[in-house]
Amino acid sequence: MDEVLLVKKLVEDAIVPTRGSKCAAGIDLYSNTNFIIQPHERFLVSTGISIQIPHQCYGRIAPRSSLALKYGIDVGAGVIDEDYRGEIKVILFNHSNEIFNGRRGDRIAQLIIERISYCRISEVKELNKTDRGTNGFGSTGK
């Protein structure tokens, strides 16, 4: 059975997210306003929509590769919980030395719907031992 992402327009001219191709993992999110991001600054971009994510899923807002490669634009802090019903907004970072001009209707990010496990949380005195142990941050190779 296909799951459905429900989308509510909060303003009449908002653009409903679209999939760039049949098998695209990300669903394109669109800006609902013109905006400017100064070099090395961030900006919160409105989409004009709210969503209802399928049960046992969450939404992850991810960068668009074309914006990252061509303009140095990245996405920050993009987790949307299943029970959130407010407007979807996207934090964009301009890592370049140039001003970035965004326009209403621009594809600004991708929404990826992912399954999640709502595991219980239990405090313990010890964790089980593994070969890796506490080695991290590149300890398994290049």
DSSP 137: S
The token pair that represents 5 in the structure block = 């992402």
* pLDDT higher at 137 or 94: 94
Residue that is written with structure tokens 């992912």 in the block: 114
pTM of the model: 0.89
Tell me the domains of the chain and their CATH numbers: 6-115 (2.70.40.10)
Q: So what's the pLDDT on residue 46? A: 98
| Residues contacting 36, CB < 8 A, separation 6+ | 43, 99, 100, 101, 102
Residue 15: how many other CB atoms lie within 10 Å: 19
pLDDT class of 142 with cuts at 50, 70, 90: low
User: pLDDT digit string (tens) for 76-132?
Assistant: 989 999 999 999 999 999 999 999 999 999 999 999 999 999 999 999 999 999 988
